[in-house]
């Protein structure tokens, strides 16, 4: 059985592994090391036994505590297509709602149809496309969900 729990400082190597297997040019080791400190209970890790399977990181918007951003959602290739990404997302949205967050935003690659499908099934809608969001040629689709 897979356990989903808050990311802890000792999970750094797990986050690095998931990130390396999930993204090309993902977050820096420094960012991943600081995630448990900066994001608290809105950074979750899915783990089965000693094997890390996925994570989600979410942060409140500076100056707008009623808004949060999903910074990253990653599932290792061997654990995909089992609903794990959705479980991480739903648990995070529940935490945010309980903490009084009214809306959640995120960015996703416009051609990442798997991620888009997950987000749309859970009530996220497209706001706009931003060209060169992360640099030249790195376009992103911004999505938003109102928490009710």
- Would the pLDDT of 26 be above 90? no
Q: Where are the alpha helices (DSSP H) in the chain?
A: 12-22, 29-39, 84-98, 113-121
Q: For residues 15 and 29, is the Cβ–Cβ distance under 8 A?
A: no
pLDDT value, residue 25: 73
Say how far apart CA 13 and CA 56 lie, in whole Å. Answer: 15
Q: What is the DSSP letter of 47?
A: E
Per-residue pLDDT band for 144 (boundaries 50, 70, 90) equals very high
- How does residue 30 score in pLDDT terms, banded at 50, 70 and 90? confident
CATH for 3-146?
3.40.630.30
Q: For 44-87, write each residue's pLDDT tens digit.
A: 999 999 899 999 999 999 999 899 999 999 999 999 999 999 99
pLDDT score of 118? 94
pLDDT above 90 (res 31): no
Tell me how far CA of residue 54 lies from CA of 15, 72, 92, 100, in angstroms. 8, 10, 13, 25
| β-sheet bridge partners, residue 69 | 59, 105
Share of the chain above pLDDT 90, in %: 70
Give the residue extent of every domain in the chain.
Answer: 3-146
Give per-residue pLDDT as tens, 121-134: 999 999 998 888 88
């Amino acid at each position: 059985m897979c356990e989903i729990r808050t990311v802890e400082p000792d999970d750094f190597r797990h986050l690095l592994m998931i990130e390396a297997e999930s993204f090309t040019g993902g977050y820096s080791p420094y960012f991943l090391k600081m995630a448990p400190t900066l994001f608290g209970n809105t950074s979750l890790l899915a783990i089965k036994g000693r094997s890390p399977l996925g994570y989600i990181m979410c942060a409140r918007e500076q100056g707008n505590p009623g808004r949060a951003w999903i910074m990253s959602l990653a599932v290792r290739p061997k654990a995909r297509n089992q609903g794990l990404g959705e479980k991480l997302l739903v648990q995070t949205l529940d935490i945010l709602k309980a903490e009084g967050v009214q809306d959640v935003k995120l960015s996703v690659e416009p051609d990442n149809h798997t991620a888009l499908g997950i987000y749309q099934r859970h009530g996220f809608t497209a706001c706009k496309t931003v060209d060169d969001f992360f640099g030249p040629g790195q376009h992103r689709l911004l999505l938003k969900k109102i928490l009710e």
